[in-house]
Structures are given as C-alpha cells and as structure tokens.
C-alpha cells in the first residue's frame, strides 16, 4: 500500500507541475501558479513524510473554499480544446482544479493521520 501512495504523490506532483506550466498565459497567472505550487510542494512533502495531517486538512479546506468561490455563475463546461472562450469556462476550470487539489490533500491528510510518521 505504501507504494501506491508514493506513486499517487508522484503523479499528482507532476500534474500540479503541469498545471503550473499552463498558467503562464492566464490573466491571473501568478495567483494560480502559487496555488498549484502549494499543492505540488505539499505532494513532495507527503512523499518525504514531512508534514502532519492537520496541515493537509487545512490545505484541503483552503482548496475546497477556492472551489466554492470560483464556481461559475453559469456552468458552460471546461472545453479544453477551444481555449478560454468565456469567463464561465475559465472559472469552471479553476474551480475544478481546486476541487481536485482539495481531494488530493484530503487523501494525504487521512493517510498521514493513519500512518502517523510525519515529522512536523
């Protein structure tokens, strides 16, 4: 089971890194680069067993709050093949990205809580 969580963390570290890379043409790029950097850093620290579960739960709450705040007024999907057509599509993408990060942080938090080997 330990191997599964290591692979899980590596995959999400890479995915959050990819999310950082595609933010550079975004109007609010700095904000989202920092948000996804926090998720990528938390993934690396999960691999290294350096954080306590409470920090992951805090991050999860933060990302889920972003999910709620950025949910678009009108859902128009995410339409990945057409670029950013409307503000609703952009907010939908940002919202779903935040939800994914929030769920990943919950996984890290519960795993860390039940294993209990973190250092700080």
Block residue for tokens 């950025």: 70
The reported pLDDT for the residue numbered 100 is 98
Q: What is the tens place of the pLDDT at every residue in 43-59?
A: 999 999 999 999 999 99
The reported pLDDT for the residue numbered 84 is 63
Query: Are 118 and 112 in contact, with CB atoms under 8 Å apart?
Result: yes
Query: Are 104 and 12 in contact, with CB atoms under 8 Å apart?
Result: yes
pTM of this structure: 0.88
Q: Strands (DSSP E) along the chain, which ranges?
A: none
The reported pLDDT for the residue numbered 32 is 94
* Residue numbers in the chain where pLDDT is lower than 50: none
Q: What is the number of domains present in the chain?
A: 1
Token output for 18: 């990819």
- What domain range includes position 25? 2-115
The reported pLDDT for the residue numbered 77 is 76
Q: Could you give the CA distance from residue 64 to residue 97 in angstroms, rounded to a whole number? A: 10
Does a structural domain hold residue 120?
no
Does a structural domain hold residue 69?
yes
């Amino acid at each position: 089971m330990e191997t599964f969580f290591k692979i899980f963390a590596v995959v999400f570290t890479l995915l959050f890194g990819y999310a950082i890379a595609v933010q550079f043409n975004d109007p609010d790029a700095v904000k989202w680069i920092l948000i996804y950097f926090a998720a990528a850093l938390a993934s690396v620290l999960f691999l290294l067993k350096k954080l306590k579960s409470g920090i992951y739960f805090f991050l999860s709450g933060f990302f889920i709050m972003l999910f709620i705040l950025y949910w678009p007024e009108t859902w128009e999907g995410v339409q990945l093949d057409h670029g950013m057509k409307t503000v609703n599509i952009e907010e939908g993408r940002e919202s779903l990205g935040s939800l994914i990060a929030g769920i990943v942080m919950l996984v890290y938090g519960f795993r860390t809580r039940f294993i209990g080997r973190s250092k700080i």
